[in-house]
Amino acid sequence: MKPAPFNYFAPESLKEAITLLERNHGTSKIIAGGQSLLPLMNMRLATPETLIDLRNIDGMKQIREVNGFLEIGAMVTHQRIMTSTLVQEKCPLLAEAAGHIAHRQVRNRGTIGGSVAHADPAAEFPTVVTALDADIKIEGPGGEHWLKPAEFFLGFMMTTLQPTDILTALRVPVSPPRCGWSVQELARKENFFAIAGAVCLLQLSQNRVVDVHLGIMGCSPAPLKPLQAEETIRGQELTDDLLAKVADLISEQVEPESDLHGTKAYRRAMAGVVTKRALKEAHHRASEGRQ
């Protein structure tokens, strides 16, 4: 199918883009990489009257380290995040997550801002942002403000973004010394959306977990940060008994739906399984000093 007719603008500044959103209030859509929006338009599940393309706006394609954080412009592509030396060194979990997204063609076009704004709970970047409690920068007619993931994600593909708002950047904490990371997914095929997935960043000191960040994908209406499981792990040695306990906690907390890929009970069980795998790999990497 082909999309319904629409008007197209490619503003040269953020101010111009916000003005266009105000002028076309409620009938326009922002397009970044287009890897989620365009298929919906082709199937006429989305029929915006106006597309506002962010590709020409300066300042939204930068990756830089600022005061212990990586500040990443919303228009930075998945492929660039995956291959960036700075991201690989300062936040390897984010770089590894990018490599799990679809295929090279999609990674070359898709953007981190577009992925987070789309808010698919089975997607990697919303889950990593949630796990790391990153900051999300929103700009609109009233100026700019930063939100935490718990404030930003409301439910299945729902966020607090207003019709005249633009997600312009993300601020992700730099990983601490002696940490390990992992992205584990169960999917029908490699690089398909996760039936169940887990991301983990873990820091060790004298073989005890001094800090841990978890995110669960594909098993709840929004990306899930399992705070109780994190608190259960902190300060402990990562034994088999602890892993089993955490897996049970995750299985109890997720809220999956049955679909053609698996029943609710199956997805609950798999959420625990992938979490154990992520914790084991992150622990191994931290023990080997790969950060």
pLDDT in tens, 109-142: 999 999 999 999 999 999 999 999 999 999 999 9
List all residues 6 or more positions away from 35 whose beta carbon is below 8 Å from its beta carbon: 102, 106, 109, 110, 114
Distance CA 167, CA 65 (A): 19
Q: Please report, for residues 35, 44, 73, 111, 161, the alpha-carbon distance to residue 105 in angstroms, rounded to integers and kept in the order given.
A: 10, 23, 20, 12, 28
Arithmetic mean of pLDDT, 207-221: 95
Token duo for residue 146: 């930063």
Q: Where in the chain is the domain with CATH 3.30.43.10?
A: 7-53
Q: Where in the chain is the domain with CATH 3.30.390.50?
A: 179-287
User: Does the pLDDT of residue 91 top 60, yes or no?
Assistant: yes
pLDDT tens sequence across 22-35: 999 889 999 998 88
Arithmetic mean of pLDDT, 3-28: 93
In the chain, helix, strand, coil percent, each to 5? 35, 25, 35
Q: Please report, for residues 125, 228, 251, 287, 288, the alpha-carbon distance to residue 237 in angstroms, rounded to integers and kept in the order given.
A: 28, 16, 21, 12, 16
User: Does the pLDDT of residue 190 top 90, yes or no?
Assistant: no
Q: Where in the chain is the domain with CATH 3.30.465.10?
A: 63-173
pLDDT tens sequence across 149-175: 999 999 999 999 999 999 999 999 999
User: What pTM value is reported for the model?
Assistant: 0.94
What CATH fold (topology level) applies to the domain 179-287?
A: Enolase-like; domain 1 (3.30.390)
CATH of 63-173, one of 2.130.10.10, 3.20.20.80, 3.30.465.10, 3.30.590.20: 3.30.465.10
What CATH fold (topology level) applies to the domain 7-53?
A: 3.30.43
- Give residue 12's pLDDT: 94
User: Does the pLDDT of residue 236 top 90, yes or no?
Assistant: yes
CA 252, chain centre distance (Å)? 23
β pairing state of 7-9 and 50-53? parallel
- Give residue 291's pLDDT: 43
* DSSP helix/strand/coil, 87: helix
User: Does the pLDDT of residue 43 top 80, yes or no?
Assistant: yes
